Amino acid sequence: MAATGKRKTGVALIVLAAVLLFLPYPRPRSGPQPSPDQFWFTSQPPGAEVWWSDGQSEKKLGSTPIERSAKPEGEGQVVVRLAGYQPSQTFQASSVSSPVILERAGLLEYLRFRRPLSFLALGLLLAAAFLLKPEAGSGESRELERLTPGGRVGPYRLGEKVGEGAMAEVFVATPLAGGGKVAVKAVFEELCRDPEFVRRFQREVSICQSFDHPGLVTVREWGELDNRFWLAMDFVEGRQLGELVGQGLPAERICRLGRALCQALAVAHDAGVVHRDLKSDNIMVGEDDHPVITDFGLARADHYEKITKTASTLGTPAYMPPEQVSTPNSGPRADLYSLGVVLYEMCSGDVPFSGDPIPVIICHLNDPPPPITRADLPESLKAVVMRLLEKEPEDRYADAREVEAALAAV
């Protein structure tokens, strides 16, 4: 049976079981209402014991339905009891003509009184559970199973989880049809419920699929799984740039890496895509010492009010341009500011501002970056970095190509 057919059949069996379980009992018999001096008691379900209590002793009157010509003598109360239901319901002993519906104590006890319908309903539920059980390798697993090593996302089998950020988790994966490793990134469901994020994500990922540049990770395909977007990208062998900076890199290497990053950014910006979270940990450096920018295609759902929740939702604070705090849809020059932080890190071994997120953001808004003190670096290189770190976007370079030209002239 096809997966869709099994699912439909399973759902139908669950509905039928629910109908059988909660099918109302027959209403009490109809007929003339009792006269004021007549004692008449019914219950749903029937069979409840009816007791007369005068406060000192109890006398069993019978089981519902009960019809007596007269009430017991004296003042007292009628107590109705049925095993598996709430212990009792008490009514003043007068002419009681309305049916009593006892409150169930629990489903299992309730089922005891529904034979044989209960057993039939349980059988239907077991059959439904069998039909709805995921088949191995069918892609019908629950989300938790999919997003663990060995699970499946689209045409990929997940391997080791290699990272998790504010927006997504990342796994190494292999195509089911065979081939080299890929990186599968699954965006968290909370972001996928944001219509603006979804719109930008779909647009930017579609554009990123058309990228053909050695400095940009290629997005192979993307899809949706259990209300979460995922995308598969080429897996880049190498080390994160942040692991390489140490106490700072030589000027020649800084300029060479910086120019390659500018070339990659220019391609993305020409296509209308802004990274918005460029940082050294999003730059992989291969054995050939060529940098590759990762994480394009994840549009940021950034809002100022989210700073108080977690600054990481705005991008990484240490690399965040001032305008991104108040302008979620910041333009290409926002990436140039982040590039300036990356170059500063390559020059000095550290970012200009570090510490708790909120103070760091305030520093980006108000404070000039500390000067680069390395004496072996050309002043022209330091000047390029400082211009990229200007607070106002219009005071920075016009675009990535202009930055590349400035680095080439160092």
Catalytic annotation, residues: 277
d(CA 407, CA 410): 5
Q: Which of 293, 290, 156, 272 is nearest to 225 (CA)?
A: 156
The pair of structure tokens assigned to 221 is 């395909």
Taking the C-alpha atoms of residue 14 and residue 79, their distance in angstroms, rounded to an integer, is 37
Q: Which residues, in sequence order, are CB contacts of 30 under 8 Å at separation 6+? A: none
CA distance 121 to 225: 32
Question: Concatenated DSSP letters for 134-187?
Answer: PPTTSS---HHHHTSTT-EETTEEEEEEEEE-SSEEEEEEEETT--S-EEEEEE
Nearest Cα residue to 109 out of 45, 152, 194, 168 = 45
Q: Which of 296, 151, 295 is nearest to 225 (CA)?
A: 151
Q: 365: number of CA atoms within 13 Å, CB side?
A: 12
